[in-house]
Amino acid sequence: MDLIKIKQDKERARSLFKLSMLRYDKISQFNIEKESSLIAESYYEICKELITGLLFVDGYKTLSHKDLIEYLKNNYTSKFSEHHIESLDMLRKKRNKIVYYGIFTDSFYIKRNRKIFEEIITILKNTIRNKLE
Average pLDDT, rounded, for the chain? 96
Distance CA 73, CA 88 (A): 10
Helix (H, G, I), strand (E, B) or coil at 33: coil
Q: What is the pLDDT of residue 50?
A: 98
Distance CA 33, CA 108 (A): 9
**For the chain, which residues make up each domain, given as ranges?**
4-132
Confidence check: pLDDT of 1 > 90: no
> Cα Rg for the chain, rounded, in angstroms?
14
Contact yes or no for 32/106 (Cβ under 8 A)? no
Distance CA 45, CA 51 (A): 10
* Distance (Å) of CA 104 to CA 7, 28, 115, 118, 122: 39, 19, 20, 21, 26
Helix (H, G, I), strand (E, B) or coil at 4: strand
Q: What is the pLDDT of residue 52?
A: 98
Contact yes or no for 72/64 (Cβ under 8 A)? no
Distance CA 52, CA 127 (A): 12
pLDDT tens readout for residues 98-116: 999 999 999 999 999 999 9
Distance CA 20, CA 63 (A): 18
Confidence check: pLDDT of 92 > 90: yes
Confidence check: pLDDT of 41 > 90: yes
pLDDT tens readout for residues 45-90: 999 999 999 999 999 999 999 999 999 999 999 999 999 999 999 9
Four-way CATH pick for 4-132: 3.40.50.620, 3.40.50.11260, 1.20.120.330, 3.30.70.2500? 1.20.120.330
Per DSSP, helices labelled H in the chain are: 10-27, 36-58, 65-75, 82-101, 107-132
